[in-house]
A and B are shown apart, each in its own frame.
Chain A
């Protein structure tokens, strides 16, 4: 029988942790880009894209991430695609992230005072000029704190991808727990890993929020 030292456990968890970090980054960056498109559609003037964006948001906010992953995982393979776990995980989390970020950012855009829209339209700016030079820069300032806060949810969301077999931190932890018969130790370390990733983000989001309130 193979025996595991504490270092063996930690070393393997670190590899899993790196994959968790990587998946979080990918999901956050791609989800942010997609979320921006969804946002523009959601607050835009055209009716069809607006309805579509709203459907996207409600669908992904109103269903469990696990079921989204399952549906993607098995849905894509219907088209004859061979879907590896990492692809389903990345795609699922990206869509999930985009829905939430679009909705968070919409709140920020709507928090920009109406007068700003009116003033910029008095200056004969087109819709896109208003967006680009007046509205989005101000909305962005408002959005930093909640966006960083949501990053915590993305990191925690990656844990669910372990269920479709992506070998990130939680999956690695499960495998090690099964091999070492030390579930309490291993899962505590796994939880610690997530805490190390998430706590600085939560803390940073909180301090940003405080700063923003102070600036007002």
Chain B
């Protein structure tokens, strides 16, 4: 007997799916913002070797880039309680996402800062920019502009990776999918639909990052 596809369950679970999407988006927004923040801090510390952060960041970046996100998540959620640090599932998920993205964005932003031409710094110096102004307008902004596409991809990868947070019972989209398929036994349809939703989310986040890049970073100061 041929398999009959059955997507009629969708209306019943539309509310749950929407909640799952909202949860995933929430994780991504918070994780993305804080992660990029950590990345900027890390890139500065690494570039100017701010003691002791420069060295610490180096180890942090290597550790987090060379271990799987899932293991980082398990270590934070299941491992830290034995050190007396108990986190809720959502806290662990956000912490893991922030630390993971922070490690990648440190390296990405550092590459951007390093690509600042010497002449630009000299020009800014001769225009009597303060150190802070030089950093903000001559180094950081152009650097972010250069690496924004790479940074956007990394945020999308982090969002897609957040699906494994379902394993520590964070109630995001994949968790909802697992729940639904355990109720209706329509595993293939449920996961197929959810995969499509992630695909749409990835496009959406890419577009949003593009817009943010346009208005926040690329915009030139008014004359």
Binding site for B on A (CB under 8 A): 59, 62-68, 70-71, 74-75, 78-79, 152, 156-160, 162-163, 170, 173-174, 177, 182-184, 187-188, 190-191, 194-195, 198-199, 202
CA distance A177 to B82 in the complex (A): 12
Chain A nearest CB from B205 CB (Å) reads: 10
Q: B71 to chain A: which residues have CB within 8 Å?
A: 159, 170, 173, 187, 190-191, 194
Report B-chain residues with C-beta under 8 Å of the C-beta of A187.
Answer: 71, 74-75, 78-79
Q: A67-B191, A71-B191 are in contact. Are A156 and B174 (CB under 8 A)?
A: no
User: Which chain A residues border B174 with CB–CB below 8 Å?
Assistant: 64, 66-67
Give the interface SS of chain B, mostly helix, strand, loop or mixed.
helix
Q: Which residues of B contact A78 (CB under 8 A)?
A: 3, 188
Most chain B beta-carbon neighbours within 10 Å: one of A66, A152, A170, A190: A66
CB distance from B217 to the nearest CB of A (A): 24
B interface residues (Cβ-Cβ under 8 A, vs A): 3, 62-63, 65-72, 74-75, 78-83, 156, 160-164, 166-167, 174, 177, 181, 187-188, 191-192, 194-195, 198-199, 202-203
Q: In whole angstroms, what is the CA distance A62 to B199 when docked? A: 5
Are B63 and A188 interface neighbours, CB within 8 A? no
Given contacts A156-B69, A191-B67, contact A67 B202 (CB under 8 A): no
CB-CB under 8 A from A173, the residues of chain B are 71, 74
Q: Are B160 and A64 in contact (CB under 8 A)?
A: yes
In the complex, the answer to whether A163 meets B75 with C-beta atoms within 8 Å is no
Question: CB distance B163 to A67 under 8 Å?
Answer: yes
B79 CB contact (under 8 Å) in A63, A188, A202:
A188
Q: For B66, what are the chain A residues with a Cβ–Cβ distance below 8 Å?
A: 152, 156, 194-195, 198-199, 202
Task: List the 7 closest pairs (A to B, CB-CB), nearest first.
Answer: A159-B68, A184-B79, A198-B66, A64-B163, A74-B187, A183-B78, A156-B68
CB contact under 8 A between A71 and B75, given known A62-B203, A182-B82: no
**Shortest CB–CB separation between residue B11 and chain A, in angstroms?**
22
A159 x B199 contact (CB < 8 A): no
Q: How far is the CB of B78 from chain A (nearest CB, A)?
A: 4
Please state if A170 and B187 are interface contacts (CB–CB under 8 Å): no
Assembly CA distance A159 to B163 (angstroms): 13
CB-CB under 8 A from B62, the residues of chain A are 199, 202
Partner among A68, A174, A182, A194 whose Cβ is within 8 Å of the Cβ of B67: A194
Known: A67-B177, A74-B188, A194-B67. 18 other contacts (CB 8 A): A64-B174, A66-B174, A67-B163, A70-B191, A78-B188, A156-B68, A156-B69, A160-B70, A170-B71, A182-B82, A183-B78, A184-B79, A184-B83, A187-B75, A191-B71, A191-B72, A195-B67, A198-B66
